[in-house]
Structure 1
């Protein structure tokens, strides 16, 4: 029975989970620069057999993280990279490696759950929307600023848009600056998914949501969908297990 550390490393935040004998025994996350959060991960388990990473961070951060993981567990980390084709999923990019590996793995994870046409919405720092045909062909996607980036842009570039209120995201028109901003962002996010689905046409794809804001966005959209927060991890595990079994390099 093996133990694996799996990581989803973004530009500002890293999520991780530990799987042992098919069960998740620990999980967490930390912002880059949060040494206490990173130490909690490093001491979450005494030993691991595999370390698998999905990373869209820069080379310097990847190198530093790989060194820490190697030092802690004496295991060589494996970084997933985006290929042209894998397990029936076909990349639409002319340069496949330029697609974020988190998007690729989320599609891989969703496709393993559903054999038909799918749409994967990953609501994190960025909102990504990806369509996959029933035959596994990536039909294309969208990359949109997420809620925090939208709000930051307003605060940085306007003098009078300021507020301290903690207002939830909702769709009705706002009656304060805080509500107008947060509700406007919600309308923009929901509107983006709605237009993307309309553009997708028929047959309607099965909809999957992941990412930190995935559950909120799914509720705002009010459409039948699956909330699958671990899609990136699920795709990572599928890809890493296949590589380990075959000894191939992707």
Structure 2
């Protein structure tokens, strides 16, 4: 069966075309706050591929999601939209109000929470750095922090007299100039936060997102596992459970 999987985030739209266990095509594009317009340009391509079903993870508001659905209905195939539940496929949500948990975080947790005896720390290094803790099949909640670039942008906007051009985040050593002091300091702060969490909650560290490899090289003592398509795995698991219980 040929499937289309969509991850519609705050800034990017990612899609995967899969058949059985194989990924046939993968794409990621900035949607400039209008994912529906981007999909308008892709829907004919999807139609030519003879898609048989669609799974969607979207952090957009209802108005945007309604427009997205209207476009995708042109493909005339079943559509599954992932949503956060208080309990789903044996996994309990740690939020007091499940609807407040981002669907991307929920699916990433759902992808790993298969062992009732294992603890996981799931970190997504995207627009924000999110940390979610899983004990067995119970989501315990987590943390949301500004990512490397948001913190740097905040310094640029709010610090008079200091110019901070773009540079690589790569080292944790003390900076010997302002540029390095800023970049090393921001990276050190986020790495230290992760270490503090793992100190209090020993667990298997699973990382995903564009900066996962960057953080992982500073967290080798915790044997991080990098999963580039963690959300896809969670979305597929969500869809599989939904279909089996339909």
Question: Matched residues in 1 for 2:15 and 2:43: separation?
Answer: 8
User: Relative to structure 1, is the Cα distance of residues 41 and 233 closer, same or farther in structure 2, using a 3 angstrom cutoff?
Assistant: farther
CA RMSD of aligned residues (A): 2.2
Q: Cα deviations across residues 65-122 of structure 1 (Å, max 9, x unaligned)?
A: 2233223x23353210000111221111121111111111111111237851111011
* Contact 1:171 1:187 (C-alpha < 8 Å) held by counterparts: yes
Change (3 A) 1:108 1:165: closer
Cα offsets for 1:19-51 (capped at 9, x unmatched): 112100111111113889753686266221111
2:172 pairs with 1:171: yes
- Taking the TM superposition and a 5 Å limit, the aligned residue runs for 1:108-123 are 108-112=110-114, 116-123=118-125
Note closer, same or farther for the CA distance 1:165–1:31 as it changes in structure 2 (3 Å cut): closer
Deviation at 1:185, TM superposition (A): 1.6
Quote the residue 1:157 is aligned against. Answer: 158
Unaligned runs of 5+ in 2: none
Q: 1:164 to 1:144 in 2, by over 3 A?
A: closer
Instruction: Give the Cα separation in 2 of the matches to 1:31 and 1:41.
Output: 16
Q: Please report the TM-score for the alignment, with normalisation by the length of structure 2.
A: 0.89
1:107 corresponding residue in structure 2:
109
- 2:44 & 2:105 partners in 1: Cα distance? 26
Give the deviation of 1:215 after TM superposition.
1.5
Q: Contact 1:119/1:129 (CA < 8 Å) preserved in 2? A: yes
Size of the alignment, in residue pairs? 241
The answer for the alignment partner of 2:63 in structure 1 is 60
Secondary structure (helix, strand or coil) at the match of 1:179 reads helix
TM value normalised by structure 1: 0.87
Aligned to 2:22: 23
Instruction: State how far apart, in whole Å, the 2-side matches of 1:228 and 1:141 are.
Output: 19
The aligned runs of 1:200-215 (5 Å cut-off) are 200=201, 204-215=202-213
Deviations 1:163-201 (A, max 9, x none): 33533332112223332222122111101101111222x
Task: Give 1:229 deviation, angstroms.
Answer: 1.5
Question: Which residue in the other structure is 1:97 paired with?
Answer: 99
- Structure 2 equivalent of residue 140 of structure 1: 141
Quick one: distance in 1 between partners of 2:115 and 2:3?
21
CA shift for structure 1 position 220: 2.0
Query: Aligned ranges for residues 72-91 of structure 1 at < 5 Å?
Result: 73-91=75-93
Which of 69, 73, 76 is the aligned partner of 2:72? Answer: 69
Q: CA deviation at 1:126?
A: 0.8
CA distance in 1, matches of 2:64, 2:90: 31
The change in CA–CA distance for 1:173 and 1:124 in structure 2 (over 3 A counts) is same
Shift of 1:52: 0.8
Deviates more, 1:216-225 or 1:40-49: 40-49
SS of 1:162's partner is coil
Q: Unpaired runs of 5+ in structure 1?
A: none
